[in-house]
Chains A and B, each alone.
Chain A
Amino acid sequence: AQSVTQLGSHVSVSEGALVLLRCNYSSSVPPYLFWYVQYPNQGLQLLLKYTSAATLVKGINDFEAEFKKSETSFHLTKPSAHMSDAAEYFCAVSVTGGGNKLTFGTGTQLKVEL
């Protein structure tokens, strides 16, 4: 079965600083990986996805993530944090034969401070 682990339930950065949210996956077959953002009392918005094409994936709002098979990681980064980036971020995995199901990590709450 596939799974993802998000290290750090809370991350705090200063506005303008680098954002790094960590995600490691476990899968016996090539995974498809996603990052979603959730604002309070809202659904999930797709930031970016890895689907076995380029290992460096660029998403919306200047977010990007790099798929590293050797490290089984898919960390999310953004060069310069903005106050509007404060939200909950979820890493998720899906695999072929998994019925299109998404398995989510436990989430990372990003706080952006002035």
Chain B
Amino acid sequence: GAVVSQHPSRVICKSGTSVKIECRSLDFQATTMFWYRQFPKKSLMLMATSNEGSKATYEQGVEKDKFLINHASLTLSTLTVTSAHPEDSSFYICSAGGDRVYGYTFGSGTRLTVV
């Protein structure tokens, strides 16, 4: 079946630095990928829709300058958390391709801790 690889699984960074998270579709092409954020003991919040070859579509309230999304190829989308702050610490999960008929495939998530 479809496999989505997300890397890194865990990252610790200092305040003010930037962190890049990668989401790759391993055995299929994904023109659309989704980025979610999950707070502790909470549900998943859609941050943005990543579109191959065009700008990402951000959900209301998500700072596009802080959470930079790049979808340069049909198998790779990246989320860069810029000038990270402790409040950006969270679990970030990507979802690649799929649709409502075949279902959606999720990456294994990235635990970001900003110190």
B-contacting residues of A (Cβ < 8 Å)?
32, 34, 36, 41-46, 49, 51, 90, 94-96, 99-107
Among residues of B, the one whose C-beta sits closest to the C-beta of A9 is B41
Do B34 and A102 touch across chains, with their CB atoms under 8 A apart? yes
Do A42 and B108 touch across chains, with their CB atoms under 8 A apart? yes
Choose among A96, A99, A104 the residue with the greatest number of B CB atoms under 10 Å from its CB: A104
Do B43 and A102 touch across chains, with their CB atoms under 8 A apart? no
A96 to B99 alpha-carbon distance, docked (Å)? 10
Do B109 and A106 touch across chains, with their CB atoms under 8 A apart? no
Chain B residues with Cβ below 8 Å from A101 are 34, 46, 49
Identify 17 new A-B residue pairs, CB closer than 8 A, beyond the known A41-B9, A95-B100. A32-B100, A34-B104, A42-B109, A44-B106, A45-B106, A51-B100, A51-B101, A96-B100, A100-B32, A100-B100, A100-B104, A101-B46, A102-B95, A102-B104, A104-B44, A105-B43, A106-B42
A36 to B4 alpha-carbon distance, docked (Å)? 16
- Can you give 15 A-B contacts (C-beta < 8 A)? A41-B109, A43-B106, A44-B95, A49-B100, A49-B103, A51-B101, A90-B44, A95-B100, A99-B57, A100-B99, A101-B49, A102-B34, A102-B95, A102-B104, A107-B43
